[in-house]
Homo-oligomer: A and B are copies of this chain.
Amino acid sequence: MSAGETSLRIGDVARLVGTTPRTIRYYEEIGLLPEAPARHSGQHRVYTEEEVERLREVMRLKHLLGVTLEELKTLLTAEEARAAVRAELRREDVEPTRRRELLAEALGHIERQLDLVEHRSAELTKLHRELTETRGRVRAKIRALDRAGREPAASAIIVD
C-alpha cells in the first residue's frame, strides 16, 4: 500500500517496547489497550506506529508512577479521551461549541495526570533533600576527622 504504514505484528511491537507478546495481549485483555487492533487480513493483530507509542507511554507511566494497572487504566482514560478528541477535532466540521467542550475535557484529563505527577514529584524531592542533608552531615564528620588527624586535639564528635 502507501509508504507510511509500517505493518507491525505483536512480536515486533514487543521487541520495540521491550516487553513480551503475552503482556501486550494481557493489557488488551484487561482493557488497558484498545480492543483488538484491526486484524487487517486474517487473525493476527496488526499495530501501527501510533499504537506502539501508546504502549510505550503506558509502560512508562506504570514504571514512573508505580500504580496498578487498574489505576493506570483510569489514568489512561485521559489518553484515550484525548485520542478521541484528537480524532474528532481532526474533522474540521465540528461546531466550535462542541470543539470547546472536547478541549476542556482534554484539559481536565491532563490536569489530573499533572496532579498525580506533581504530588509524586514533591514527595520524591523531599526525600532527596533529606538524603542530601544527611550526606552533608556525614561528609562534615569525615572532614572533621581528617582535620583532627593533622592537628592533635581532643575532639568530641557527636554522632547523628
A6 within 8 A of B: no
A84 contact set on B, CB distance < 8 A = none
Interface contact A124-B117, CB-CB below 8 Å: yes
One digit per residue, 1 when the CB lies within 8 angstroms of any chain B CB and 0 when it does not, for chain A 90-106 equals 10100010011001101
From B65, B86, B120, B142, contact of A103 by CB (8 A): B142
Interface contact A132-B114, CB-CB below 8 Å: yes
- Interface-located stretch among A8-16, A26-34, A38-46, A133-141: A133-141
Distance (Å) between the CB of A108 and the closest chain B CB? 10
A65 contact set on B, CB distance < 8 A = 66
Quickly give the copy total for this chain.
2
Q: A146 CA to B64 CA in the complex, in Å?
A: 36
Distance (Å) between the CB of A103 and the closest chain B CB? 5
Distance (Å) between the CB of A107 and the closest chain B CB? 5
From B96, B127, B138, B160, contact of A117 by CB (8 A): B127
Distance (Å) between the CB of A77 and the closest chain B CB? 15
A19 within 8 A of B: no
A148 within 8 A of B: yes
A131 within 8 A of B: yes
Distance (Å) between the CB of A82 and the closest chain B CB? 9
Given known contacts A121-B121, A123-B64, A124-B117, A142 and B104 CB-to-CB distance under 8 angstroms: yes
A146 contact set on B, CB distance < 8 A = 100
Interface contact B89-A159, CB-CB below 8 Å: yes
